[in-house]
Structure 1
């Protein structure tokens, strides 16, 4: 019975929704306000494209009888959206409200009455009291990008006043109410479709979210949404996969993301929570690919170093090496024996790495003679920072433990290497690691988006990034 209950639960809970995200993004009301400002400029431009068809008809006017009229060549000369707001509707999406908007239009008029009398002139149309209320749905599309859609719309055009100029304008002013009604109806009919089109027009920008961002020639990081965004009364949360993959082969790591939740803050436009899981998937990928390895030779040591990587330098600590392989250069191969793991605790990031150091003598015929293999377990402090839209870092050695795995030059006390190994790690290995970490990897961002005054806090199990954003035109 329990087995069938579990199978039923799994059927109701898709894998992506039952897995904690590696990255959580939070868009606050402050961020929405910035988005509203950008969106209103786009909407205003789109509303200026309203096309008002020519209007014609007949009306009976006292003393003039039946009058044929037409208005044509109408164009918008001014449009204003002085009041607007964008609010959050919990569990639903967004609500856009526009009030007291106005449109001013110019055009031409023409009349014919008493069968033979014709007249023409220009007119001004003032549309005022225009208001729009539109609901926007927020979801996840099939490619893992956020998406918005038009959920509802209503529009009101309270007044459309026409003022005619030239010719027998007194005649037109007599039946302007007929034209007012026709123009109001024509404009209102176009408002909601244009608003819906503007909302749908946001999706191409949302699709520039780097859901699969290349890190280097070996790996990429996936930022696709694992579920639809969650809308509350104060913010929108987005749950992203946040996982590194090898470019050649996508393989899931043998561990899962820990659960974490962002603190209830709203001073910045955007908050990003980057789980330690995300960084640990990077360690898994590079360790699986065998990329966490480095060959060290003497020319890589500082020229000022009194210690050289050759058998002569080892004669005081392991005499048998110099006796067996006199005056020969050496090479050390440093590589991880398992993936490194980073841990985030409040205000502290540490990296645990375990590996081996294999020392060789380079013989005159260039063949390598193994000397010894040792295990090394290190504790490393990590610092993280933002550069552009990348997150980067650096590491420094806290301490290490070494143990002998095998010796090919007879027994010796491994403690004699307590100064040599840290020296090699600090002068060669860590500088190369830091040079790579300095490049960083991309954060989830949209095209033409930049981070403004980003701040990082280290929380338990994740990094909290608080930032404002700007979009280039």
Structure 2
């Protein structure tokens, strides 16, 4: 999707409720200007090349000569030059596109008694158009041009061949006719260029599928905030189970993007978005994992069997000799994600239930431990997705219930840490490597990434990154505010 389409997306006036967003997007005047120069004006220029001037014919009385019949035909555009123009936010409404001193050159044929050709140059062509956006039934934007004005400053015609001197006698009359014919077509063609992005806007991922279980809702939570320097767009940014939209028992806290407007665009993601993902996956029941000995690396000196556990809990070796052990790891409630300088932290509270696997495959319960873990997640961007990789920070165990008598829980730290590091964390990283989509449209993508983490001040984290699509990304900020932390993607 073109950047001009992305500009329109940012201007979307939504009709949804005014709840706090989980995701914010800011497009600055610099971003608008880039989109106008690189994409928007190219579309307008292409449409202006399709101007069709109808044949002009009639009679004109010329002093000392009398009535002269004339005809101008086969007029076609040779070139359209669009100079520097402006795309300016209009506070509270939308944007205004204005250009002046555009030029058009064309060529055609003329005829009185003999035939010839002529060259025509239009100077000081000006256009001013207001862009309005409405939502369709799917919540996606539809654009239009409610008002447009065009002016043609001057038309210069040079006739060649035959009795061209006759035309030069009433050049002013012909200029007026040509100017009027062209001026009537300019605004419809500009409007067509703007409305031409509507099919592309239908690719806006209002609901972005993550996997077979989850999707992200990027619908708008309120109308955009439009100032002289930027346009801020509020998006829901919430994970849902596919086909079963249930709100979590928490809501996003208010947050705002940093005041900077020197980059093209900023994307801000609060911790609410990440935590809604935890709620969704916990609700789907997939945050449960069965661990068996065949999942432990062969090189590990500790195995998941009653002999190894019996070293620390003799009752297990006595009652269940020579059996393999199965551990069921399950979250007790959704994980909690917070953003901090240099990383994101995920805290999980759950249980580990150990079973002895009898030779007839029945399971004999051994014990249940309460587990409280904290892992760090290094974030990065791959394409148009946020990806992560976690590593263990902390593991705390407490006794739940036991069928094999009381024992020192700390004695199992080494075994359970091996299970976490060798099995659970690698499985989690495989899931995180799939990534979670950023708000995007069509073929928007990031390439040639270069990640750096820069601490700006105590509560701000910058991650610089480049993209070779339309923008250059130059940073992700993580900023805690009240109970919610935010990730800000800055686009240069």
Same fold (TM over 0.5): yes
Contact 1:344/1:459, CA 8 A, preserved across alignment: yes
SS of match in other structure, 1:315: helix
Matched residues in 2 for 1:145 and 1:268: separation? Answer: 26
The equivalent position to 1:173 in structure 2, one of 140, 161, 168, is 168
SS of match in other structure, 1:409: coil
Matched residues in 2 for 1:105 and 1:163: separation? Answer: 11
Q: Which residue of 1 aligns with 2:88?
A: 87
Contact 1:123/1:162, CA 8 A, preserved across alignment: yes
Q: Which residue of 1 aligns with 2:477?
A: 457
Contact 1:221/1:244, CA 8 A, preserved across alignment: yes
Task: Map 1:347-426 to 2 at 5 A.
Answer: 347-426=342-421
Matched residues in 2 for 1:195 and 1:374: separation? Answer: 68
Q: Which has the larger radius of gyration?
A: 1
Matched, 1:152 2:147: yes
The equivalent position to 1:280 in structure 2, one of 263, 268, 275, is 275
Q: Which residue of 2 aligns with 1:268?
A: 263
Matched, 1:298 2:307: no
SS of match in other structure, 1:419: helix
* Shift, 1:64, TM fit: 3.2
SS of match in other structure, 2:280: helix
1:237-291 Cα shifts (integer Å, max 9, x gaps): 1101101111131111111011100001123211111010011110001000101
Q: How many residues align?
A: 449
Matched, 1:245 2:265: no
* Shift, 1:373, TM fit: 1.1
Task: Map 1:37-186 to 2 at 5 A.
Answer: 37=37, 38-111=39-112, 118-186=113-181
SS of match in other structure, 1:190: helix
SS of match in other structure, 2:366: strand
Q: Which residue of 2 aligns with 1:314?
A: 309
Matched residues in 1 for 2:19 and 2:222: separation? Answer: 10
Can you give the 5+ residue segments of structure 2 that lack an aligned partner in the other structure? 1-13, 447-466
Matched residues in 1 for 2:16 and 2:65: separation? Answer: 74
Can you give the 5+ residue segments of structure 1 that lack an aligned partner in the other structure? 1-13, 112-117, 469-473
Contact 2:116/2:160, CA 8 A, preserved across alignment: yes
The equivalent position to 1:196 in structure 2, one of 187, 191, 197, is 191
1:386-430 Cα shifts (integer Å, max 9, x gaps): 111100112222112212222122222222212222221111101
* Shift, 1:215, TM fit: 0.3
* Shift, 1:459, TM fit: 0.8
* Shift, 1:16, TM fit: 4.2
TM-score, normalised with respect to structure 2: 0.88
Matched residues in 1 for 2:92 and 2:15: separation? Answer: 22
Contact 1:139/1:229, CA 8 A, preserved across alignment: no
Q: Which residue of 2 aligns with 1:6?
A: none
Q: Which residue of 2 aligns with 1:213?
A: 208
* Shift, 1:448, TM fit: 2.1
SS of match in other structure, 1:448: coil
SS of match in other structure, 2:490: strand
1:70-109 Cα shifts (integer Å, max 9, x gaps): 1111100111112212112211211111111111111111
Matched residues in 2 for 1:341 and 1:197: separation? Answer: 48
Contact 2:18/2:222, CA 8 A, preserved across alignment: no
SS of match in other structure, 2:420: helix
Matched residues in 2 for 1:440 and 1:416: separation? Answer: 37
Q: Which residue of 1 aligns with 2:490?
A: 466
SS of match in other structure, 2:333: coil
Contact 1:146/1:229, CA 8 A, preserved across alignment: no
1:101-121 Cα shifts (integer Å, max 9, x gaps): 11111111112xxxxxx2211
Contact 2:19/2:222, CA 8 A, preserved across alignment: no
Cα 1:89–1:18 shift into 2, 3 Å: closer
Contact 2:343/2:379, CA 8 A, preserved across alignment: no
CA RMSD in angstroms, aligned pairs only: 1.7
Once the two structures are overlaid, the 10-residue window that deviates more, 49-58 or 338-347, is 338-347
Once the two structures are overlaid, the 10-residue window that deviates more, 342-351 or 362-371, is 342-351
The equivalent position to 1:439 in structure 2, one of 434, 438, 449, is 434
* Shift, 1:206, TM fit: 2.9
TM-score, normalised with respect to structure 1: 0.91
Contact 2:372/2:395, CA 8 A, preserved across alignment: yes
Contact 2:342/2:378, CA 8 A, preserved across alignment: no
Contact 2:15/2:222, CA 8 A, preserved across alignment: no
The equivalent position to 2:334 in structure 1, one of 324, 332, 339, is 339
Cα 1:146–1:265 shift into 2, 3 Å: farther
Matched, 1:187 2:188: no
